[in-house]
Amino acid sequence: MSASVPRLFVRAVLARDGKFLAVTLASCAVAAIVAMFQYSVYTSFLRASAVVPRMLGGDFWVTSASVECFDFPYQFSQDYEGALSRYVPGANFRRVVFGFATWRSPQGRRGNVAVVGVDGTGLPDDGFAADRSDLARLDLSALGAVQPQFGSISETTLHLAQTVDTLPTFLGAPYVIVPFERGRELLGMDPTSTSFLIGDFPGGGRDLPNLVAARRLTARNFPDVSMLSATQFADSSARYWQRKTGAGMAILLAAVLAGLLMAILLSNGVLRFIQRYHHDLISLLGHGANQRDITRIVGSIAVLIALFTMAAALLVTPVMIALFRPLLPWVSFRPSDAVVPLLAVLASLLIALGAARRAIAAYGPDIVFRS
């Protein structure tokens, strides 16, 4: 039989019985969109869990020995900078303080903010930076609309000097960036204390292999503090929020369940196609087709459903995330977020083809006579 017959058969199905396939296409697409949306929320949760360490960067961080997360630090003496310099020669240190403080907006509304004081911010001593997604919660407008805009942190009046797009958070208290000394003052900290030290190598990280030895010496000689690479500390913060709240696992579980539902719907759709066109497939066998031709027909339908599912998820998910941005400002879609859901679609396709193998195996030459 001509190899074009399976293609003509599939084309005829699409032209004459599109409504039948539309139900399967729509259901699989919805499940895939939910899976990709939930997975994007999950990856965004991990990114937001360590948004400040990733924004501040650095090559390594020095923390108190028991600190697992940026948002829950313990103070230690800034004199450790000099003591640890011999283990990381040439590294430049930045001090960081963090804590929660009271906020009074220009309209007099009170709340809390998460104060991040950092060396080398470039901000004026009486200014602060905030994320654009948090301006409404702070009763502030975008820069350029009203100048200047003042607010009070710990009863100290400061003005909005800069807005950024790199500090979205689910904390409930917006992050505000201030100069280090101002942050220490706002938080009422000891004048010789810091929450973290950030180390930067002048070679842009080429000295990172030496960090392993530096960490070992720090742990042995200064057990009160820990030295971690910037990536390790960011990952530690993300794991802390995921482990302590369980929110990340709940979101991931929803994505997994949506993926399983997609696999079930795709398999069911392929099997329903075989059942619906049972007599037509037998007729093809009677006209010289074989199991390979039947497999091509069923496989083409399954691939068509999978491709439509992928395309719908890729097109609709970013739009949904954009629509939910006012409610979930810390959620964003990145191309890398689509990799795992698309692999789930491919896995669902393999499952569907596997489920169809037994049904296809029944289409032997003898079925024509038995029918």
Residue 49 CA to residue 233 CA, distance in Å, equals 11
- The pLDDT, as a whole number, for residue 368 is 47
CA 228 to chain centre: 23
Partners of 193 in beta bridges: 77
- The pLDDT, as a whole number, for residue 60 is 92
State the DSSP code for 66: T
3-state helix, strand, coil in the chain (%, to 5): 55, 15, 30
- The pLDDT, as a whole number, for residue 146 is 53
> How far separated are the first and last CA of the chain, in Å rounded?
21
- The pLDDT, as a whole number, for residue 45 is 92
**pLDDT values of the chain reduced to their tens digit, one per residue, 371 residues:** 445 667 777 777 777 777 878 888 999 999 999 999 999 999 999 999 999 999 999 889 999 998 999 999 999 999 999 999 988 888 899 999 999 999 999 888 999 999 999 998 989 999 999 999 899 899 988 765 556 889 999 999 999 999 999 899 988 899 999 999 999 999 999 999 999 999 998 866 555 667 888 888 998 999 999 999 999 999 999 999 988 888 888 889 999 999 999 999 998 888 888 788 767 666 666 555 566 777 788 888 888 899 999 999 999 999 999 999 888 889 999 999 999 999 999 998 888 888 777 766 665 555 544 54
- The pLDDT, as a whole number, for residue 176 is 96
Residue 48 CA to residue 62 CA, distance in Å, equals 21
- Amino acid letter, residue 6: P
Give the residue from 139, 184, 186, 135 showing the smallest Cα distance to 162.
135
- The pLDDT, as a whole number, for residue 369 is 46
Residue 190 CA to residue 177 CA, distance in Å, equals 19
Residue 80 CA to residue 91 CA, distance in Å, equals 13
Domain boundaries, the chain: 4-48+246-370, 51-245
- The pLDDT, as a whole number, for residue 362 is 60
- The pLDDT, as a whole number, for residue 342 is 92
CA distances from 278 to 2, 265, 353, 360 (A): 20, 20, 17, 10
- The pLDDT, as a whole number, for residue 363 is 58
- The pLDDT, as a whole number, for residue 103 is 95
Q: Coil, helix or strand for 243?
A: helix
Name residues whose C-beta falls within 8 Å of residue 135's C-beta, 6 or more positions apart in sequence: 141, 142, 163
